Amino acid sequence: MTADRPPLAEGVPDRLYGRRRSHPLRARQQELLDATLPRLRLDAAQAADPRAAFGTPVEALWLEVGFGGGEHALAHVERHPGVGYIASEVFENGLCSLLSRLVAEGEEATGALPPHLRLWPQDARHLLGLLPEGSLDRLFLMFPDPWPKARHAKRRFVNPTLLPLVARALRPGGEWRIATDDPTYQGWVAEVMAGQALFDVPPPATARPEGWPPTRYEAKALREGRRPLYWTLSRRAG
């Protein structure tokens, strides 16, 4: 097991499912990965003391798992300069989408970058195992891949075997925000959370709460007639 891949909980498959790339990268995208990503990348050693990894003092630490196109992450980065924000995504096209918003073409290696943003372009489950206990103030899971087939349920991030790892990384009272428009995943979240004692789980909101930036996936769901649900879970003490 390598330093950036600590062992996962028993029963959690140590395999990352899903795509890393949807089509060949253009020259600009490759330059973003080669020149810009390393300037923001959080490595395993830094994860052991994550607040020290930022280029500015931070008052809180937030993590987004699977940021997709990056609009949700960047909205929070712009609104909360005092928060250290770690955005995790393995899909290269998503990484490029976020990075392209940060630097102009031709400035991939030199353009100014938000000092309170770091990227983790690997499996977020391993990052949770590397972070100090109780280090996160907030965790976001926005419109994750639903893996709708029953035989693929173990691939879902919301999973009974993964909850202790999430709870370990969140401080008592820390928030875990989950949004999904998929009916199967909505039912799955309700089922999994009904059988655990690590988080307080109020009923989900049926409209995006104040302070939750929109995403392209939410917009697509609403256009196609699907109604998202929005959970705000709180890590219990003890």
**Order of all β-strands in the sheet with 170-180:** 117-120, 83-88, 60-65, 136-142, 170-180, 229-235, 199-200
Annotated catalytic residue, options 145, 181, 182, 200: 145
Please indicate whether residue 137 is annotated as part of the active site.
no
Residue 37: half-sphere exposure toward Cβ, Cα within 13 Å: 23
Q: Which residues are tagged catalytic?
A: 145
